[in-house]
A and B are shown apart, each in its own frame.
Chain A
Amino acid sequence: MINANIKLIIDKLIAKTNAGQAIWSKTSRDTEFKLELSKGAITTDMWEDEHGYKMVDLSVYNANGEIIENDVFHESDEESDFTSLQNVYESAKKSYYKIDETFKTIFDELDGEKTIGRSKELPF
């Protein structure tokens, strides 16, 4: 069960990330994203267990880099808890990879009048 503070952090994180005001970066794990704060950091990660079920976590680090909160949920756990953390993870992932911006650019290019793509022309 997610505690009230973490629930609040999750809501604010999603709002801030979706507003494009949170800059996520990657950690030493390819699937883990990190948000640096002035006094600490927040990380979120999603991976699969040995049976192929998804797991998601959210960790809060203090200014000394120590973990002060770590919530891990399994796909089979209470749905709302897993989904809450999954939403944070998906927001972070979208923000890091700039997924929405990339799709928007693709749609704009596809809808536009201009010819898209490049031929292999010599530069002279």
Chain B
Amino acid sequence: MNLSDNRRNAIIILVIGLLISGFVFFYVLKAVEQTILNFLSLFGTFLSLYGLYIAYVQILDIKRINEGINVAVTNSLNRINQVLSVSELSKANKIIQEIQTSNLSDKYELSLLRMKDLKHILIQIRSNEELNIYTETSVYNKNITDINIDITNLTNLVLGKKKNGVNPTKLNSNLEDLATILSEFENKLKFGTK
């Protein structure tokens, strides 16, 4: 029921109530009982009940408006979260491209720094409820594990530890797999595809 319905109902009830009260006063009461006091008593009772009805309708309206506001705020927050997530996913894909370029140029220090940023974003994405059905999968966890293994290998390489060889082609291939998954997530958020 919307506000105009409530107003219409209130007017109808007022008119009907006044008619009934008038009918009772003029046709049901005897002539001797048709005094100012009885008139005020009859119409006063009706108007009191009518006032209670109006108050009840107002409370219902306020409640409905509040619920509407809550839904709108929740929808807006979800939408803002979606936009932020899309932006994070785009950023992650950009970082992947940077890492791949750094790997090909043997700039492993830079690559390592950006890999850590990427890992942070991947863990953040896991907190997005919209993407839970996709991120709570073994494939996504596998990618996080892969990133960590690659970070360990790159750290060993950068620190010049004894175990220090990495295959940049394999590194980039792992990142490319991840980029594909992140692009899919991005499209799912942007276009709501399942």
Contacts and interface: CB of A to CB of B under 8 A. Distances in A.
Interface of A: 26-32, 34, 36, 38-41, 43, 45, 47, 49-50, 55, 57, 59, 61, 63-67
B161 to A, nearest CB: 10
B148 A27 contact: no
B153 A27 contact: yes
B147 A29 contact: no
Nearest to B175: A28
18 contacts: A27-B150, A27-B170, A28-B154, A28-B166, A29-B163, A29-B167, A30-B167, A30-B170, A32-B153, A36-B145, A40-B145, A41-B145, A43-B149, A49-B162, A59-B152, A65-B119, A65-B145, A66-B148
A30 B168 CA distance: 10
Given A26-B170, A65-B119, A31 B145 contact: no
B72 to A, nearest CB: 36
B152 A64 contact: no
Given A64-B123, A65-B119, A31 B165 contact: yes
A65 B149 contact: yes
A34 B149 CA distance: 9
B163 A45 contact: yes
A38 B138 contact: yes
B141 interface: yes
By DSSP majority rule, is chain B's interface helix, strand, loop, or mixed?
A: helix
A60 to B, nearest CB: 11
A28 B171 contact: yes
A29 B165 contact: yes
A64 B142 CA distance: 9
A116 to B, nearest CB: 34
Interface string B122-165: 01000000000000001001101111111011100000001101
B171 to A, nearest CB: 4
Interface string B23-64: 000000000000000000000000000000000000000000
A47 to B, nearest CB: 5
Given A27-B153, A64-B123, A47 B163 contact: yes
A30 to B, nearest CB: 5
Question: Which interface residue of B149, B153, B171, B174 has the most chain A CB atoms within 10 A?
Answer: B149
A57 B165 CA distance: 14
Contacts of A29: 153, 163, 165-167, 170
Nearest to B152: A67
A39 B137 CA distance: 10
